[in-house]
Structure 1
Amino acid sequence: MPSFDVVSEIEQHEASNAVDQANREIERRYDLKGKNASFELNESVITLTANEEFHIDQMKPILESCLLKRKIKVSCLEYGALTGAGKLVKMAATLQQGIDKDLGKKMVKMVKDNKLKVQAAIQGETIRVTGKKRDDLQEVMALWKGDESITMPLQFKNFKD
Structure 2
Amino acid sequence: MAASPSFDIVSKVDRQEVDNAFNQAEKELATRFDFRGTGTVVAKSGEAFTITSETEERATAALDVFKEKLVKRNISLKSLDAGEPRQSGKTYKIDLKVVEGIESDKAKAISKKIRDEGPKGVQAQIQGDQLRVTGKKRDDLQAVIALLKQEDFGVALQFTNYR
Task: Tell me by how many angstroms 1:43 deviates.
Answer: 4.0
> 1:1-161 counterparts in 2 under 5 A?
1-81=4-84, 82=86, 84-86=88-90, 88-116=91-119, 117-147=121-151, 149-160=152-163
Which residue identity does 1:121 align to in structure 2?
Q
Name the % identity: 35
Which residue identity does 1:12 align to in structure 2?
R
Which residue identity does 2:55 align to in structure 1?
E
Task: Tell me by how many angstroms 1:89 deviates.
Answer: 3.2
Q: Secondary structure at the match of 2:162?
A: strand
Task: Tell me by how many angstroms 1:61 deviates.
Answer: 1.1
Task: Tell me by how many angstroms 1:58 deviates.
Answer: 1.6
TM-score of the superposed pair, with normalisation by structure 1: 0.89
Q: Distance in 2 between matches of 1:23 and 1:45?
A: 15
The 3 A distance-change label for structure 1 pair 54 and 76 is: same
User: Can you give the 5+ residue segments of structure 2 that lack an aligned partner in the other structure?
Assistant: none
The 3 A distance-change label for structure 1 pair 115 and 32 is: closer
Name the count of aligned residue pairs: 158
Q: Distance in 1 between matches of 2:122 and 2:45?
A: 39
The 3 A distance-change label for structure 1 pair 50 and 109 is: same
User: Can you give the 5+ residue segments of structure 1 that lack an aligned partner in the other structure?
Assistant: none
TM-score of the superposed pair, with normalisation by structure 2: 0.88
Q: Which moved more, 1:93-102 or 1:35-44?
A: 35-44
Q: Is the 8 A contact 1:16 1:41 kept in 2?
A: no
Task: Tell me by how many angstroms 1:151 deviates.
Answer: 2.9
Task: Tell me by how many angstroms 1:70 deviates.
Answer: 0.7
Q: Distance in 2 between matches of 1:14 and 1:142?
A: 27
